[in-house]
Amino acid sequence: TQLLEQSPQFLSIQEGENLTVYCNSSSVFSSLQWYRQEPGEGPVLLVTVVTGGEVKKLKRLTFQFGDARKDSSLHITAAQPGDTGLYLCAELTSGTYKYIFGTGTRLKVLA
């Protein structure tokens, strides 16, 4: 079974700071998704990356897919309290229908 490791596990920062979280795999991703889960809710998709080296931006969030498609990062610029949540990376495994999720990074942004 593919393992997705995320780091750091926990992150607590002040409003306005920048941060980066990482997702690494033991093998090559077919495609990678990032989700955010707010307390009391299910995860919600932020972005899907498919091509090695791909960079996608979603307002203050920048997602990067490694050239070798074995790692990905999420960078948040000028974090806001509304960014607080659990960030999960997930792979849609090639040739199957199922999603494998990482261990998650729990982010808390303090006002």
Partner 1 sequence: DVKVTQSSRYLVKRTGEKVFLECVQDMDHENMFWYRQDPGLGLRLIYFSYDVKMKEKGDIPEGYSVSREKKERFSLILESASTNQTSMYLCASSSTGAEAFFGQGTRLTVV
Where does this chain bind partner 1 (CB under 8 A)? 1, 4, 6, 9, 33, 35, 40-45, 48, 88, 90, 92, 97-104
- In the bound state with partner 1, the residue whose beta carbon lies nearer, of 2 and 80, is 2
Smallest distance, partner 1 to C-beta of residue 99, A:
6
Chain Cα centroid distance, residue 51: 16
**Residues whose CB falls within 8 Å of the CB of residue 48, separated by 6 or more in sequence, listed in order:** 31, 32, 33
Smallest distance, partner 1 to C-beta of residue 1, A:
6
- In the bound state with partner 1, the residue whose beta carbon lies nearer, of 3 and 78, is 3
Q: Nearest 5°: phi and psi at 52?
A: -55, 135
- In the bound state with partner 1, the residue whose beta carbon lies nearer, of 66 and 102, is 102
d(CA 103, CA 91): 12
